[in-house]
Structure 1
Amino acid sequence: MLPGLTEIPDVIHATVTVLVKVTERNITADMRNASSQAYKNFSDLFVSQMNKVYKGDDLPLYKEVIIRELLNGSIVVDNGVVLEAKYTPEYKTVFRNATEIVKDKIMNETSTIATDLYQCRYHILCYNGNFTTVDEDSLTFSFDPAEYCFQNAAKDFGHYFYPEDLDGTLTCVNNCTQGTKSQVNCSPGYCQLLHSGPQCVCPNTDTHWYWGKTCESRTSKRLVYGLVGTVLALLLVLVITLAVILSCSQRRKHRSTYDLSQAQQREALPGTFQSTGVWEADSLKKEMYGLEKGYSHFQPNLENVDLKPRCSSSEFFPPWD
């Protein structure tokens, strides 16, 4: 917020553009020169007649008429009607209402039909009412609080500031200024003016997170923590289950390998028989199946048999006495 507008003048002026066409007279070359006597004589006559038109109790804001330019046809006078009033927060409305009175007065004056053309040529000014124009949109002010706020704000922030009456003082404010009509309600957060404009900064309390354009939404921390804890517990159970399944699979694989190794070892034990291929598919296809063929393919393996005698005759025949 900028400080109160201490530079506000006590009196503000407003100017509205008016065009009137003077008949029975023609513009001359020296009348285009504002320092010439011809220009001075015409302007004094025109201003004098306009003062009579505008002054009155119904238009107390009237101050003066200023001629801007004289144009061809017969003489077209581009002039500004200056109004004056003390500053009030509603000064623009006051001046617009006064402009309506200006319009009514000049239209009535120029619509009067002159009957004495001699007077129109040498003593008074007569007008063509059909040409008279009052440009209400041209109303300008000697002091513009909005422009003042724009010019005195920080760089790149001017378009966020505007004048508003706070406690009887005209102040430059923005939508984050407390007590203004257009204040942004960020409760429970606060409003902060950024380069992108007024924005709400939402708080983070012990129990909730606040979010949204005006911090209107909130989320319970307890709920979020509970959901996160539940998800983590489910993930832990899933990991343990996968670990158990993988462990069981490894055990079955190890047991199968162990059983196959034992079978291979038993084939090499002393005094056992080894197959020589009778049961192979090719042998079955080529030869007739029979016991003789079957027995002929089983041969004793005596490679590891201990052939040393283990018993003596004395063990079976006791000595003779």
Structure 2
Amino acid sequence: MTLNWQLKSGSWFLSAMKPVSRSEKNPVMLSAEKPFKAINTSLEVQLKINKEYSESLNDTKTPEYKEFELEFKTEMSSVYSNVPGYKDVEILSIRKGSIVVDHKVIAEVEIKEDINVTEEYKTILEQVKIDLTAEKDNCTGKLCIADILELKQVEPPSINDLCETRIPEGFRRFYSPLLTSEGLTCVSFCEPKSSKYENCNGGKCEIQQHIGPKCFCPNTDQYIYTSPKCTGRISKLGVYGGIGTAICLLIIIIITGAFFLVRTMRKKSCEENELFDDKDEKYVKYGISSLYTQLEDGEENSSWRTWFSKGEFRPSLEKIDPSIKVKIKRPETVRQFSTFN
């Protein structure tokens, strides 16, 4: 049985893991998920023991070392019995002088919303000092403490450190620790319990690696959402119907406008033709008719002139009187003589 962190519903839990039988085709890990309820704290202690040193104690494989390790752990379990959460001791090194033993004292601290880990660690440290001093002054076991050489604190990890070191890379900054009466959980920004909760308004929230929380809105085949957080839902059927109606109205407006434009142009063209026909009828009684003929202001027998632009010149022969004789005066030649002096 091993411990590992597992993701469930956007939160990370410390879980007990049990491998599946190797006979299965696709081995997986079954987990009994539970909140992280405690952490191990430690402090390093250096003691001088009144016992003769042997070189064989430098080799952890020798019978002498194993015998001394068992004897030391048994003795220290009795010494540290009053330490809150005491679990074990771990020998770090052994050296000459009588015997100097560097070891680690391991104690467990509960993690709950009403427990301060730092204060609990200080209590453990003080109790270790008390127990060692008492044993030194009054040795009752096989191994007697000659001197307490050193006692070193090892700062326990914070709940933030626990979440940052246990959550996979790329996801860490999107999770925060949450202390409850059940213990410690690392909740994602997709969880309503998080102080940075990403509300997806009925959609599904997922943490994407290096990106963070993302909302997946429901029924996207039927609706359009105006916000990435699944707000402003609009029916696709209504949108497509509105677009179709707008296109139809635009087509009707274009066709109607084109109809009235053509009608206006035709009306203007007919009026211009009627104007030119009136001018021709007005001037045909003078015997000359043209599409572009204009009289001077005045009586009918006043002088007139004609400008030709377009059209044709048409003589009106039915208005000519052939009985009228036209007399043309013979031209005279005028000579002018110059006198030279």
TM-score, normalization: structure 1? 0.46
Give the number of the structure whose residues are more often helix, by fraction.
Answer: 1
Give the number of the structure whose residues are more often strand, by fraction.
Answer: 2
TM-score, normalization: structure 2? 0.44
